[in-house]
Amino acid sequence: MLKTMEKRLENTATERIREVCRHIERHSDDSLTIARLASLAGMSRFHFARSFRSVTGVTPHEYVNGARTRALKHGLRDSDGVDAAIYDAGYGSPSRVYEHAAKRLGMTPGQYRRGGAGVEISSVCVETVLDYMAIGATDRGICFLQFGDSPEALQVQLSCEYPKATIVQTATPEPPFDTWVAAVDRYLKGEEPHLDLPLDVRATAFQLRVWRYLQGIPYGDLQSYGEVAAALGEPDAARAVAQACGKNRIALAIPCHRIIRGDGGLGGYRWGVHRKRVLIDLERAATALPKI
């Protein structure tokens, strides 16, 4: 009898903690002190803190911070500004977020929202079967790989992408650019199906999720925007997937050309639909698959 009573009390406490967790997720923008959360659970602060950690594996403070970080990442994508997203997520001031930004986001909120700025970028432009290609890289990896009709147009595009960066141009590919250019050349000849390049990309959490997923799509395969959204657990986000593809600055290595419309149409492509068709046909020819 005693063990049965203890089990019932334990189950009741677990359900109370779970209800508090649901409350935190719904109201992460509220003032969520441990005293208030304990009151919601109908427990003393000490008993609540101990029970909460036992059920969730983290402290109430850590759980609240996690919920606010998730809300912040969502808000940075959708809000009118960084500060607005910070306050909407429930943080009292932007300074508290910036202090811990590297741990929570991997970058400052400004970088997270806008992309990299204030860095030194080395660049080179070469001619390929898809017209001119420019590669820009920081000391961490490639941050820009795009195609255009002229070197001048690509240089303007690079400057627009990173207006605060110091850009250093080289006339011919020097190490490690020569290795990267050679890898792209082999890819465009159908000799290099797995283009493994070091990347330095900065984006929103959703964009990064889309781009990482794209990198996992096999060479020669095609998926629709809706299929990608469903695979990410966001079946209603097909349009957001398309927008993430449009924001991609790294052609080929982040293969957004493998994403088409649900009706089989090619859809858009940042570097021109004609280039998208060439890339799809190239991959399908290399894997002996029919053209679309």
Which amino acid does the sequence have at 283? E
258 DSSP assignment: G
Q: Are 52 and 82 in contact (CB under 8 A)?
A: no
User: Which pairing describes strands 120-128 and 131-137: parallel, antiparallel, or unpaired?
Assistant: antiparallel
Asked if 134 contacts 146 with a C-beta cutoff of 8 angstroms, the reply is yes
- Tell me the backbone φ, ψ of residue 223, rounded to 5 degrees: -135, 155
Half-sphere CA count of 23, side-chain side, radius 13 A: 18
Environment class of 248 (CB within 10 Å of its CB; exposed 0-12, middle 13-18, buried 19+): buried
Residue 256 annotated in active site: yes
Q: Are 169 and 124 in contact (CB under 8 A)?
A: yes
Is residue 241 within 8 A of residue 259, CB to CB? The reply is: yes
Would you call 132 helix, strand, or coil by DSSP? strand
Number of neighbouring beta carbons within 10 Å of residue 291: 8
> Strands of 142-148's sheet, edge to edge?
142-148, 131-137, 120-128, 166-170
Task: Enumerate the active-site residues.
Answer: 256
